[in-house]
Structure 1
Amino acid sequence: MMEPIHKYFRLGTLSWMSFPTDRYDPVDAVRHIARDGDLDAVEITDYKDPEVKKQIRHILTQSHLSVAYGAQPVILGENLNPNSLDEPERRMAQERLLEAMEDAKSFGASGFSFMAGAWCEDGKEEALLQLKKTARALCSRGSSLGMAVELEVFDFDLDKKVLIGPAPLAARFAAEMRQVTNNFGLLADLSHFPTTYEDSAFAVRAMRPYLTHFHIGNAVVTPEKDAYGDKHPRFGYPHGANDVGELYDFFAVLRQEGFFNSRNPIMLSAEVTPRPGEEAEIVLANTKRVINRAWSVL
């Protein structure tokens, strides 16, 4: 396309994925992103150190970046289950997420994303009701904070194995949530489509009315190959399912389905992470090259 991608999307990246916290200082990570004029947005997460939080807030204040907060690392790192059939366990997850939401607001985040807990084949309907309790509590608090709440769609049987889950189930859940709140949406990730045995056309159209946020990335879904599962390797990684062609298809479906909105651009973040021995800056540059190529031939 002749028009820049920034006209229709707030192009961002997940700071903790682009610069893994076990290898990079989180303050330096956000500073690097804030200095990158190609990026319009950043997604941050939980930081334990008050001084780290203070420095990141200072950087974000200067940056003119749109900010979103991802609670997925909180859920995974603390083994929380927002749809646990054990009510005290579910409530504990809910309270921790509400605490994280207050933290998100302190960073100026406009959106708060989270994920479901473990897939539950036996008792799935009850688990969905439990997840709805948690989501409604988050949406209620989010409404008072002026914040959108977004549920990210993951795989259900390959790696993370969570309740939400395939696109049709995500759409069903979102439709029920929209009957009781107007600040709930779904976050769709291109790198998760191969892990749920779906493609862009099917997944985006199934969830169309409820999509408010996008991630893009790659996945290896060939068993016994390096980075198999939900590891988010760079585009072009050996045996990866997504590259320029798949990103082109994704953009084409988004255009067909009316997501190119210049008045209110949706956040579209890269979710790629360097594999061992790879450099974060190179992998992020790789991602931008793939985006530019796919966009240019759209």
Structure 2
Amino acid sequence: MMKLKEIFCPSLLVSESFYPLLTKEEELYDTVRKILLENYYSRIETGSLKNTEIRKKFIDLVKELNIGFTQWITNDINEKKLNPSTTDDKIRKKTILEINNLIDIAAESGADRVAMISGPDPGEQYRKEAMKGIEEVLFAISEKIAEYPGMILLLEPLDRDAHKNNLIGPSTEAADLMKKVNGHYKNCYLSWDSAHVALNKEDLRESLKICAPYIGHLHLANAILDPKKEGYGDWHMAMGEPGFLDVAKGQEILKDAAQVIAKPQGIGVAVESRCQIGQDPLKNEKVCRGFLAEILEGECDEG
């Protein structure tokens, strides 16, 4: 038997735990450094860093502490009204150019992962065309990622026909897409998120099994799954009731992941719970860390 903490790496989801500080990058850096010096986390996740001096500080920090660094570029894409799954050729080309620029920014920050989502589902009538579009985008940016040895692209499937309504999507479609891209590039993987899988009404264990060859990261995210209840959807809520994700469910997810992923050692896992404006980010991080630590104390048979 092995402890889950011997398999998975705890990741600090900075952009959620410290959400009120995202526009205050100097304070954000100081807070993140303080937390990382406690030597619990092996990986951090932020959005793209706007300030060039802060990028330099982060690259020094991750080198100093020898930790992994993921940059999420979703907000940057959305802010410019771009869309990786667009059916418009002009917007697709602009999206590729912008993502390539964001990959350069991530490299300047010391990141070894760039993460994104697919963009909105255009509906059944245009879905096939949109699928060709996201495939084209992933091929193009995987080629760009290859300029930085060791860097990996992560695509997070969201829910479809529930709350976030993204093109990717159901686990079978996500895995099929990854199979195509990884047939040419070995630097594109999935960031698996428990809330979106559950909102898709998929069995979590079966989803992990389907996605296993391409899982490069895990998010433990909670959600209210009943459409009739207040708060339904993926709102990056706190762990536990009234959502479905508690410590026992989190351990179940990671035990299943450890069994079906060929080489699970070193895969990052983060708790996705947003600190709201007016709340204390350090308190939020402490709660998330405690939840994750309790999960990682669980034991698992070696796969």
* TM-score, normalised relative to structure 2: 0.88
Give the number of equivalent residue pairs. Answer: 294
State which of 198, 219, 232 in structure 1 corresponds to 2:236. Answer: 232
For 1:166, the equivalent position in structure 2 comes to 170
In 1: Cα distance, 2:73 partner to 2:189 partner: 15
CA contact (8 A) 1:9 1:260 kept: no
3-state SS of the aligned residue for 1:212?
strand
The farther-off stretch of 16-25 and 211-220 is 16-25
CA contact (8 A) 2:195 2:222 kept: yes
State which of 204, 213, 216 in structure 2 corresponds to 1:212. Answer: 216
Alpha carbons of 1:13 and 1:191: their partners in 2 closer, same or farther (altered >3 Å)? farther
**Post-superposition offset of 1:74:** 1.8
Alpha carbons of 1:142 and 1:246: their partners in 2 closer, same or farther (altered >3 Å)? same
* Aligned: 1:97 with 2:99: yes
In 1: Cα distance, 2:91 partner to 2:116 partner: 17
CA contact (8 A) 2:193 2:220 kept: yes
**Post-superposition offset of 1:258:** 4.0
What RMSD in Å do the two structures reach over aligned CA positions? 2.2
The farther-off stretch of 73-82 and 19-28 is 19-28
Q: Which AA in structure 2 matches 1:207?
A: C
In 2: Cα distance, 1:100 partner to 1:293 partner: 35
* Aligned: 1:14 with 2:38: no
3-state SS of the aligned residue for 1:136?
helix
* Aligned: 1:273 with 2:274: yes
CA contact (8 A) 1:34 1:65 kept: no
CA contact (8 A) 1:83 1:130 kept: yes
Alignment of 1:75-114 (within 5 A): 75-114=77-116
Alignment of 1:130-209 (within 5 A): 130-146=133-149, 147-209=151-213
- Calculate percent identity across the aligned residue pairs: 22
Alpha carbons of 1:282 and 1:2: their partners in 2 closer, same or farther (altered >3 Å)? farther
Alpha carbons of 1:131 and 1:111: their partners in 2 closer, same or farther (altered >3 Å)? same
3-state SS of the aligned residue for 1:122?
helix
* TM-score, normalised relative to structure 1: 0.89
Structure 1 unaligned runs (5+)?
Answer: none
Alpha carbons of 1:250 and 1:58: their partners in 2 closer, same or farther (altered >3 Å)? same
In 2: Cα distance, 1:204 partner to 1:49 partner: 37
CA contact (8 A) 1:190 1:216 kept: yes
Q: Which AA in structure 1 matches 2:18?
A: F
Q: Which AA in structure 1 matches 2:14?
A: S
CA contact (8 A) 2:192 2:218 kept: yes
CA contact (8 A) 1:43 1:69 kept: yes
In 1: Cα distance, 2:103 partner to 2:298 partner: 39
| CA deviation vs aligned residue, 1:193-237 (integer Å, no higher than 9, x gap) | 22221232021011111111111121223346554322211212x
